[in-house]
Amino acid sequence: MKFTFTQSSMAKGLQKVMGAVSNKAPIPSLSNLHLMLDGSSLKMTGTDLDLTITAEVEVIEVEGEGGVLVNAKRFQEIIRELPDVPLEMNVQDGNVVLSGTGIGNYTIPAGNISDYPDIPKVDPQFSFDLTADVLRRVITKTIFAVSHDEMRPILTGLLIQLRPDELRVVATDGHRLARIVRHDINYQGEPRDVTVPMKALNLLMKNLSDDDQPVIGIAQSRASFKTATQTLITRLIDGNYPKYEGVIPTSNPGKLLAGIDELISAVKRVSIFASQLSRQIKFKVDNATVEITADDPESGARGEETISCEYTGDPLLIAYNATYLMDILRQIDTEEVIFELATSNDGAIIKPTSQRDGEDFIMLLMPIRLR
C-alpha cells in the first residue's frame, strides 16, 4: 500500500497516540504503532494493554489498503525532523519507506499486524457526552488531589459517579479531597461508580480540542472517550472507592473570607521558611486578620505575614501542609476564597465565593498536628 500525507498532520496524530506506547513493553510488538489504511483515513494506534489510543490522520493519493506495524520511537523521531511538506509512505518488501520532494528516503523495517494484540473494544453499558470545556474543567479541578501511593491503587485515579442528570468527580489522597458536581448532564441510566486512572485522563486533556464533544462510554472493566478524531480506551481501576462523603464536614461554624491573590502570595513567601520535612504553615485567625507563620527548627529560619480577612467564629490556630494548601488555592477562580473551619483538628472546607451555573465545587484539607 502507498499513500501521501503532510508532516504536520502525522505529527499531530503521533502526539495523540505516543502516550500509550510503553517504553518498557512486555511484548515486543507493543513498541510499535499499528497503522491501518481504510480509504482516505489512516488509523494509528498505540497501546500498553491498559491504555489504548487511536487517532485518525488524513491521507491523500491512496493506493491499496491494509495495515502495518512500525517502530513508534523511530517513526516519531523522523517525522519530527522532516519539513512540513507532503510525504509518501510506501509499504513494500517488509519495509516502510518514507520519501518526499527535496528530502531523502528513509527505510524502517515493518512488522506484521498479526503480531499486534487485539485492540480492545468497549461495548458501553452507560454513556453520556460533555463539552470539551466541561470535561477539562472537572478533571483539572480534581486531579491534583489524586494519590501517588501505589499501595492504595484505588486512590490513584479519579472517581466518576454517574447519577440521573448528575456527574460527580472526586479525588482524594487522604490529606485533601476535591469534589465537583455537575447538575446539567444528559444521563438517565442507572447509578454507576468507576475509577479512571490518572495517566489516561492526563493524556485525554492534553489532546482535547476546544470544539470537541467527547462521548464517554463505561463498560464493565474499561471506559472509552471518543471525539471526532481520536478514541482513548482505558482499563478501569478495580476496587471500591472509600466512602468519602462521611469525611466532608457538614457544619463547620467558622467562616473565613480572604482575597485569593493576597493569600496565595503570602503563603508562597512564608512557606519558603517552612520545615522541608513537615512543610508546616500556621494560620492564626481572628475576626479581621490571618497571621501566617512558618519556621524551620533545624536552621532557625522563620517567616511571618499578616493579611486582612473577614472571619466569624472563635479565634483559631491551625496548621496545614503548605504544598497541599497551595494546590488547593490554585483551583480557586473567584477573587476571594471561603474557608469553613471548626477546630485545629478538623478538616476545612475550601471553596470559591460563587459557583458556576449547574456546578458545585468544594475541596477539603486536613490539618496537621501543631508543633
337: closest CA among 359, 361, 305? 361
- Tell me, yes or no, whether 239 and 253 share the same domain: no
- Tell me, yes or no, whether 156 and 266 share the same domain: no
Model confidence band, residue 260 (pLDDT cutoffs 50, 70, 90): very high
- Tell me, yes or no, whether 234 and 304 share the same domain: no
Q: Is the pLDDT of residue 25 over 80?
A: no
- Tell me, yes or no, whether 133 and 225 share the same domain: yes
CATH number for the domain spanning 281: value is 3.10.150.10
Q: What is the pLDDT of residue 26?
A: 80
Q: Is the pLDDT of residue 334 over 90?
A: yes
- Tell me, yes or no, whether 253 and 360 share the same domain: yes
pTM of the model: 0.91
Over residues 1-24, mean pLDDT: 93
What are the pLDDT digits (tens) for 55-110?
999 998 899 889 999 999 999 999 999 999 999 999 988 899 999 888 899 999 99
Model confidence band, residue 166 (pLDDT cutoffs 50, 70, 90): very high
Model confidence band, residue 43 (pLDDT cutoffs 50, 70, 90): very high
> Which of 91, 115, 139 is at the close of a domain?
115
- Tell me, yes or no, whether 135 and 64 share the same domain: no
Structural domain count, the chain: 3
- Tell me, yes or no, whether 211 and 237 share the same domain: yes
Q: How far separated are the first and last CA of the chain, in Å rounded?
A: 71
- Tell me, yes or no, whether 227 and 289 share the same domain: no
The boundaries of the domain holding residue 74 are 2-115
Q: Which amino acid is at 151?
A: M
- Tell me, yes or no, whether 131 and 232 share the same domain: yes
DSSP SS3 for 267: helix
Q: Is the pLDDT of residue 371 over 80?
A: no
Average pLDDT over all residues of the chain = 94
Q: Are the beta carbons of 145 and 159 closer than 8 angstroms?
A: no
**Assigned domain for 17 exists:** yes
**Assigned domain for 258 exists:** yes
Q: Which of 133-142, 211-220, 302-311 has the lowest mean pLDDT?
A: 211-220
Q: What is the pLDDT of residue 252?
A: 96
Q: Which of 146-155, 205-214, 341-350, 352-361 has the lowest mean pLDDT?
A: 205-214
Q: What is the DSSP string of 334-365?
A: SSEEEEEE--TTSPEEEEESSPPTTEEEEEEE
Over residues 112-128, mean pLDDT: 88
**Assigned domain for 121 exists:** no
Q: What is the pLDDT of residue 22?
A: 84
Q: What is the pLDDT of residue 134?
A: 94
C-alpha span between 212 and 247 (Å, rounded): 36
C-alpha span between 319 and 348 (Å, rounded): 11
**Assigned domain for 30 exists:** yes
Q: Show Cβ contacts of residue 265 under 8 Å, excluding neighbours closer than 6 positions.
A: none
